[in-house]
A and B are shown apart, each in its own frame.
Chain A
């Protein structure tokens, strides 16, 4: 194990800085924003999953008392079929605009068609009902394999498959095909003594954040557009607004309000541009709130998928070949996370021969959005189930099989990157030694399963400014939305550098006019990258403070040392001053100290997790009850262990929901029939036991404190771990998600 470093602040569990605001109801989320003259906007949505829009007549709505503005796609600048770079990757601008307000076709039930701003939300809703839309209803395409058929109805008449640099001649619903190759797949299977090949189906699931999307926009007569919203990234909202509205980025200020969950689903804009159009037309501030059905029907779920996995191993347990085909539903516009799924699927293992094919396929469902390790959970459901079956056939303990074949430093992934120091083996060993795994598990219909997961994590740009206060505290200004305690985890890294308590840092998440560019809170990057920026900004403060001490003592800067919050002179002079006391003397030594840093760190460092689950299958009802759950994970270095545990527990429970209950249920017309929290059944606390966590710390060489992103990977193993435990309980391999009571009863031959 690497050497353990001693820290004063890192690894402790201070109260989060925004905690009091959030337990007293004072924290202001997007929907809580209020300003004088506020209008309320409501969006009219398509009742059809696939329809051509023949005409839209808004005259009756415009005449309705209390209505101040009505907008349709005609109010958007004409979108070119061009590629816009939005910092998070290239996006076709026409698709982006059409998803905000449909121009020619409605591509899913719930697709925005028009919007009304009125003096209250009830009037706006009534006026929406007065908008006359003529549709030509078209047959919907609702499932990936159906959409890939040559005779499937076309969703986009001009979409042609892009495949490794080539574009097909004929239009198709297959937007793109990707491939990763390593070694010789035929040779690998020839070397195998045991080969398992299985097919898997996963349903469409939603991120399920409790706060619906919201935005309030205000246009000033000088052209300044201000948008208050709940988003994972104020800067990406600014970029998307600039592209969609074709408006100068410098005239847009995005104010990030507190955010009520995102999980990847609050990166794309939906109501923000609509609020801006209504504000411009009405000359008043306009707030647009989604309702829960809108959130399900019109914001990014994560895709349903069809996955085939074939893996082979020698009789002494060495994996020799792995092949997969991943067919992912992109939703109405191209851009599923199939690429990320392809990067992750076999990443935990050192396999010489790998072939991965991925297909991004449009269907008449809402455009998918990232959801916590996007693509990786779908993929791991397939690969980790096949790994379990191989271990069983080879009569090798499932965790031992993972250790025997586990990836470590120097192993090259099929998609190219070579792993730096990683902690996969350590996470599996922690699981293997855990009392949960070594405890007996033999009751009838009880089963135990394990599975592992990988997520690569990202770096990207972050900026931090630190202002030193005269009482030895610091004000830390950042641009990262705090979804789960990152004010604390970022502040703690600055505090560690400066030798001050976490409580001596006042972190503020500010608007796009007030801090340097900062990418989204996503990709498990915030504690890593914005924390890195805080570290660097604190180093900048430290250097400036050293200069002040040197000035005070009339010595060279190189003769001033800083340790444990104290500056001292090392050239023989008996001088010492604390960070706090020196902070009080900034005025006399040259004025304020402001530290700054802008970083784009490359070494995000991948995260690995291994989970153990015990469950019971009720043979009468088909219900699966989770009895015990343990998750181990390499966190690199846990800055605030409570919030690392929280990320693990939250990810596990989302994974349990995905595994057992959650799915979009569509009728033949393409209407989601369960667009409410009653019928889209997310786990409640009554469905669950406590979730045990084991934080493994293999420091990430790409971060000064060894941090790895922790937020996403814990959602990856649960569906496979639960499927493997169900097999252990009843001897049936489940290959379709969710493993809901009806599917369980069918698999057991009871219905």
Chain B
């Protein structure tokens, strides 16, 4: 077995004093990194710290302005992603891109299938090679199954198998767990451990700190493009790591205030959408934060969509402050005081090519109007007001939102909805993919809103977030509400038991 040590083997892949700028933005400033065979190495940092640029440099997408990439100790220049792949470097992205109509085996061996006479594809050999890869990963996936319908977790496994088929020695995993459920993460970590034992070097990126502590040996921290530290994970605490990333002590990640719940603000009665969710009843009171937990696909997002009117419901009723909402009509839901911060901020939350000002303005098309025309002054001051209140970091309010980091984009979505002064705020995965500093800000904001009497329904796959923020936890399992757990009884075990259907009703 090889292990990283001071005198041990050369790193399989390393960066030495690498700098990279885009225009005036210095994305990397003299960053070094060493990846040894048989180690899982974490890369930590807030959004905008330079993690993506570093990954793309290793993957041959970017060439460094200064400094070197070293492969087995020798300086190399990657002219493109193909060079890096040939050198045995593979990147597994958060959302894999497979051909949905091809089988798993065909996806893995796309363009280089084993051949028989006359150039015909040897399906049996392809199947066997794929099965061997799956065995090596310790995963049970049928090679002949089409990629369509595979969960994101399974798709990632296919990508990893594909990387192995290229004899990859270095695997870079960019937020692989962001869209996975607890058990899927556990299986992925099993695969990562197998890879480690087989001598691969793994660079692991995650915003979930507890995962870094679970799976990684060492952690390199970046802040504002600069190298901060590289140290063993053992002996560190989460607070240590956060301090390295943020550069200061973070007050508290879950600043939940105690609130006495008021009147019922949102009431959902026996809501059913055929084949999606069934007989869902709950209420959210003013001042309350109610967590909605469950596995991906349990129907949480679908309930939120129906409540807000994006999808129609087949039976049941929804009311805000006692007034029944119209089925399938978001505009009337908004008028009643309902706001929804959707799951997919790039497609659903924001018009990416529109300015910050106009994105926030979109929820005010009925209010910032004078004599039937847009009141541009009012629109601008409303947008500026909320962008400033939420401390969105931007150059100009007229910049398009796709110039912002993920965390700031999420703040724009929140600004857009808070500007409507909602009575009920539904947030779906409010902190997915955003850095720990912004995450704490979002949590503080939700807590303050609740203290001001807003009823908050928070859907999240981040269990610590649910446990840290919610007054009550609703758990969905296969389209039904499986449990309601008060804050005092909510633990990872009770919530997961209900989410996986193991709880007694």
Interaction A to B? no
Binding site for B on A (CB under 8 A): none
